[in-house]
Amino acid sequence: MRLKSTSLGITILIIVFGGILTTSALGMWQTQGGGVQNHGGEGEAISIISLAGAVSEFDSTRFEIIADDGQIIPIEIGNSHYIQSIGFAPQVGERVRVDGFWDENGGFSAITVTRESTGWVYPFRDASGHPLWAGKGQGNGNQH
């Protein structure tokens, strides 16, 4: 009986210790930028914000909206080839909803843009802020 309780105690100790090591390693991985990939700063989680307004200007890599509170907000959408490939070309005056985040340079980077008139959703970044046109690698050339 003593052998079984000793074995059980050792097993529990290994499981607890392994869990602590795994949690510590995961925490280190995330704070060094390996976990939540984002473009708001290494190791920091992004806060996704929704803005709504009317398009006041559009070019090949960005557009501006006049938000419902009257503020003019430039929206960064990224690579012109990608933007053309998904067919994103809003008209001035068209109402949109932009889900995105404030980046480290103070710009607003779009994750998705929804045309309110059609409900069409155009994706530009994944939920962690990684540009969809950049592929799976890290070498996106800072085109976000």
Q: Do residues 92 and 100 touch, judged by C-beta distance below 8 A?
A: no
Greater pLDDT, 134 or 101: 101
Pairing of strands 72-76, 108-115: parallel
How far apart, in whole angstroms, are the C-alpha atoms of residue 60 and residue 68?
24
Mean pLDDT of all residues in 6-17: 46
pLDDT digits (tens, 9 = 90+) for 52-81: 999 999 998 999 999 999 999 999 999 999
Instruction: Please tell me the predicted confidence (pLDDT) of residue 144.
Output: 40
Cα–Cα distances (Å) from 61 to 13, 79, 80, 98, 129, in that order, read 55, 6, 5, 15, 16
Would you place residue 6 in the very low, low, confident or very high pLDDT band (cuts 50, 70, 90)? low
Looking at every residue in the chain, the average pLDDT score rounds to 75
Beta strand pairing status for 62-67 and 72-76? antiparallel
The better pLDDT of the pair 95, 142 is held by: 95
Position 59 scores a pLDDT of: 92
Taking the C-alpha atoms of residue 86 and residue 130, their distance in angstroms, rounded to an integer, is 17
Per-residue pLDDT at 106 = 85
Higher pLDDT, 95 or 78: 95
Rounded to two decimals, what is the model's pTM?
A: 0.64
Q: Which two tokens stand for residue 120?
A: 């069409």
The span from the CA of 68 to the CA of 36, in Å, is 31
Query: Can you give the pLDDT at residue 57?
Result: 97
In order, the DSSP letters of 78-134 are --HHHHHHTT--PPTT-EEEEEEEE-TTS-EEEEEEEETTT--EEE-B-TTS-BGGG
